[in-house]
A and B are shown apart, each in its own frame.
Chain A
Amino acid sequence: MPHIELRDVSLTYDTPAGRVLGLAGASFDIAQSEFVCLVGPSGCGKSTLLNIIAGFLAPTAGEIRIGGKPVTGRGMDRGIVFQDFAQLFPWRTALRNVAFGLEMKGISNPQRERIALEQLRLVKLEKFANAYPHHLSGGMQQRVAIARALAYDPSVLLMDEPFAALDALTRDDMQRLLVDVWQASRKTVVYVTHNVSEAVYLADRVLVMTPHPGTVKYQVPITLARPRDPLSVAFIDYQKELLRQLSQTAEPKA
């Protein structure tokens, strides 16, 4: 049984210019512990779709189920990481940021710290447990955000271009680290990106989205063994295929 099921998920919203169909009938399944990347040009509705899965937005039609249960709003079965470094609470140390979700679950303080420290160790930041976010680099802040989203043990990790604002070298490190973390935690991951090579590096399966109205047009399972070599022929072939799909689905220039 798939862990996440989307059936005909659509979203319309009102703008001054009238009704706009943002998402049109997105349907797909994601298996337990699968790593899925949503790829598409900007404005195709991939972040909107992620926000719907997160429960921040309610779809105007269609249904989403996680673990068989319909999604009606935000829930602690999902953890979320955004692109913006400012998502961390600046008034909390790295450790207490990670512990926030555990606090909400009512877990006792010593246990909270133990789990949070464990999560920080997973992202290799246990030495910075007592640092405030403004003393951490962008990459470190994103690692804290990942640890925070995993700490209260959701079954699904939702990521909205978490590494898009990092420099290329840090991004490569972060991608490697994320694969390690995912393999250790076996979460189901939905990862939004517009970076094709990132998608090929990370995903078990890439879903390609098209804009106006946004929908999932095409999917590419990536069967390369991990760790993946971004310079291998097979890797580059996947990239080419995805780019071809993206350019086919892109709007013709006016």
Chain B
Amino acid sequence: MSTPAERIRSLRRLATSLLLATLLYEGLARSGAFASALLPTLATVARALIDGVLDGTLLAHAVATLYRVLTGLALAVGIGLPLGILMGRYRPVEGFFLPLASALMPIPSLAWVPLFILWFGLGNATAIGIVCYAAIFPMLINAWSGVRAINPLWLRVGSAMGAGEGTLFWKVIVPGAFPFLVAGLRQAFLRAWIAVVGAEMLAASDWGLGWVIFDAKEFLKADVMLAALAVIGFIGFAFERLVFGALERVTVERWGMVRAGKG
């Protein structure tokens, strides 16, 4: 658990690095080395951002993107997590799926977009499919590694106390692999977020933050592009800090299965 003092220190560090980065950008934008249409000042970007938020369009785009990310991620977790655990637990399952995963994993999810468009058409189905593809492998591999990293004593003690295979799964294997499952979920979310923006640029019609960027390019609106990028960054950051940070604090950090921060 972090103390309030630590939290304030971490916030201050965050503010410092953000401030330095924005100052650097602003200096570059004002230096006149680039056309202002290509490198708008922060004030222009902020105006685009505020306009987009106020008229609701940017929020609607963000909601569309989030819907795709979360649906695709849910599918990836729903398939990847149990499959990864089964692979870690049963050799035949591992023997069948591991080569398959190893072959599919290195293919960039965006390389599938043209095929997915042919199969599922433009729109949500393709974007969700791409997100799922991007997110499933980190979830799968982490769940698989997590099961193999479980202390065998836990399984031994559990079964000695009368736990059957199903009980062992829920009460020993899943919590025992939790540090890896959280790490897998984190990575899966990150990959999903990266994939969704790309998929939207290529496959989404009309809605989504990726589409906003792609569409703004046609009108040379760098400020809108940067505003959309800021929203993407912010949502990713918020999830990382609030959702995954909290999940880790109330589970594996509380259980002493990972150390809190450094030290």
Q: A74-B160, A104-B167 are in contact. Are A91 and B255 (CB under 8 A)?
A: yes
CB atoms of A76 and B257 under 8 A apart: no
Q: A104-B167, A132-B255 are in contact. Are A91 and B153 (CB under 8 A)?
A: no
Chain B residue contacts of A135, Cβ below 8 A: 256
Q: A82-B153, A104-B167, A132-B256 are in contact. Are A89 and B162 (CB under 8 A)?
A: no
Is B193 part of the contact surface with A, judged by Cβ < 8 Å?
A: no
The interface bits of chain B over 240-263 (1 if a CB of A lies within 8 angstroms of the residue's CB, else 0) are 000000000001001111000000
Is A218 part of the contact surface with B, judged by Cβ < 8 Å?
A: no
Chain A residue contacts of B162, Cβ below 8 A: 74, 76, 101, 104-105, 152
CB atoms of B157 and A91 under 8 A apart: no
The one of B156, B161, B251, B257 in contact with A101, judged by C-beta atoms closer than 8 angstroms, is B161
Report the count of interface residues on A (CB-CB < 8 A): 26
Is B45 part of the contact surface with A, judged by Cβ < 8 Å?
A: no
What's the Cα separation between A133 and B254 when bound, in Å?
10
CB atoms of B167 and A89 under 8 A apart: no
Closest CB in chain A relative to B172 CB, distance in Å: 7
Is B163 part of the contact surface with A, judged by Cβ < 8 Å?
A: yes
- Which applies to chain B's interface (DSSP): helix, strand, loop or mixed? helix
CB atoms of B153 and A87 under 8 A apart: yes
The one of B151, B158, B159, B171 in contact with A86, judged by C-beta atoms closer than 8 angstroms, is B151
> B interface, how many residues as a size bin?
20 to 34
What's the Cα separation between A148 and B157 when bound, in Å?
10
Is A134 part of the contact surface with B, judged by Cβ < 8 Å?
A: yes
The interface bits of chain B over 163-192 (1 if a CB of A lies within 8 angstroms of the residue's CB, else 0) are 100010001100110100000000000000
Is A235 part of the contact surface with B, judged by Cβ < 8 Å?
A: no
Closest CB in chain B relative to A46 CB, distance in Å: 17
Q: A104-B161, A134-B256, A152-B161 are in contact. Are A91 and B251 (CB under 8 A)?
A: yes
Closest to B257 in A: A90
The interface bits of chain A over 142-161 (1 if a CB of B lies within 8 angstroms of the residue's CB, else 0) are 00000010001000000000
What's the Cα separation between A74 and B162 when bound, in Å?
8
Is A84 part of the contact surface with B, judged by Cβ < 8 Å?
A: yes
Q: A56-B156, A104-B162, A104-B167 are in contact. Are A89 and B256 (CB under 8 A)?
A: no
Closest CB in chain B relative to A115 CB, distance in Å: 14
Closest to A145 in B: B157
Closest CB in chain A relative to B151 CB, distance in Å: 5
Closest to B161 in A: A101
Is A80 part of the contact surface with B, judged by Cβ < 8 Å?
A: yes
Q: A91-B255, A132-B256, A134-B255 are in contact. Are A76 and B153 (CB under 8 A)?
A: no
CB pairs A–B below 8 angstroms (28 shown): A54-B160, A55-B160, A56-B156, A74-B160, A78-B160, A79-B160, A82-B157, A84-B153, A87-B153, A87-B154, A87-B157, A89-B175, A90-B256, A90-B257, A91-B178, A91-B255, A100-B158, A100-B163, A101-B161, A101-B162, A104-B162, A104-B163, A104-B167, A132-B256, A133-B256, A134-B256, A135-B256, A152-B161
A-B complex: 9 closest residue pairs judged by Cβ atoms: A134-B256, A104-B162, A101-B161, A91-B175, A91-B255, A90-B255, A87-B153, A76-B162, A74-B160
